[in-house]
Amino acid sequence: MYIWKMRNVRGEDQQKEIRSYPLDSLLCAVSRRSRRENQTRVLIITGWLQTIEKYIEFLLFPSFCQVCGRFLEGRGEKIVCSQCWERIILPPRGRCARCGRFYEQEKAEHLCLDCQQHPPYFNLHRSAFPYEGVLREIILLFKFRGYSYLAKPLAGMAIRRLKEEASLWEGLELLLPIPLHPRRTKQRGYNQAQLLAKIIGRELSLEDDSRVLQKVVNVPPQSSLAEKARRENVRNSFKVRSPDKVKDKVIGLVDDIYTTGATLNECSRMLSQAGAKEVRALTIARA
């Protein structure tokens, strides 16, 4: 308790008792109040962030299968349900020894008519699955609908399916994704082949490099063209930026779909001209 002296308006001295609190008590009280207010703010902000996070997750990973519409209720299910993944069609056992064309009848590997008449620049190509049914819908989601998450399960399936292909993996030194033109990459948000190559490289301890090959001409999409027009469309549209990276090396090209092989063949031609020892190719599906 303190007694303060003061003068009133008439100039008379007055004494007034003023209750006082120690300074440290006042500071503690202020500090406790500040902590409570800060905790409240943190809780509010955390709640907002969790709401935003759930909304973003809903947009990126809808709660229903994007192929069949079934509610995603299985643990770890995202975008595509486990039942749709299990419905993917396995390829027939017969195939061309070089381009990997599937044959309905099982037979010893031999060169198909196309490879005999027009040998491709690549030495070997293998696809994990035929491009049909459920897999076709999944790849379209991955390629055009922005579901980049699908790169991981697609790459994983391809590895499991092709892991026994010694002729594909033996001696392989460098993985190169088929490049998109920068404008196309910007429109799509990512290069699907680059995502696949990165995952495959990581899983198999192989180096991948998306800077070696470059798409220098923004040609019309291949999907809108006939086979002959596709070959002309991509001619001279790629460039090897780093010839030293490919010289005397066994290169593995990675893409999502093999349709006519025009894009893979043109990239293989450029790599061969740059001094690549051998060019092999891997795709998820073959049309």
Provide the CA 130 distance to its chain's centre, in angstroms: 21
Beta bridge partners of 127: 283
Chain segment 89-121, per-residue pLDDT in tens: 999 989 999 999 999 876 667 899 999 999 999
By percentage, how much of the chain surpasses pLDDT 90? 67
Chain segment 133-182, per-residue pLDDT in tens: 999 999 999 999 999 999 999 999 999 999 999 999 999 999 999 999 99
Mean pLDDT of 58-65: 76
C-alpha angle 280-285-286 in degrees, rounded to nearest 5: 80
Chain segment 41-61, per-residue pLDDT in tens: 665 676 677 667 656 766 666
pLDDT at 130 over 60: yes
Count of CA atoms in the C-beta half-sphere (13 A) of 6? 8
Report yes or no: 256 and 192 within 8 Å, Cβ to Cβ: yes
Chain segment 168-222, per-residue pLDDT in tens: 999 999 999 999 999 999 999 999 999 999 999 999 999 999 999 999 998 877 7
Strands (E), the chain: 2-7, 13-18, 94-95, 102-103, 124-130, 174-177, 207-208, 213-215, 238-240, 250-258, 278-286
Beta bridge partners of 103: 94
Q: Does pTM surpass 0.85? A: no
Burial 54-82 (b: 16+ CB within 10 A, else e): eeeeeeeeeeebbbeeeebeeeebbbbbe
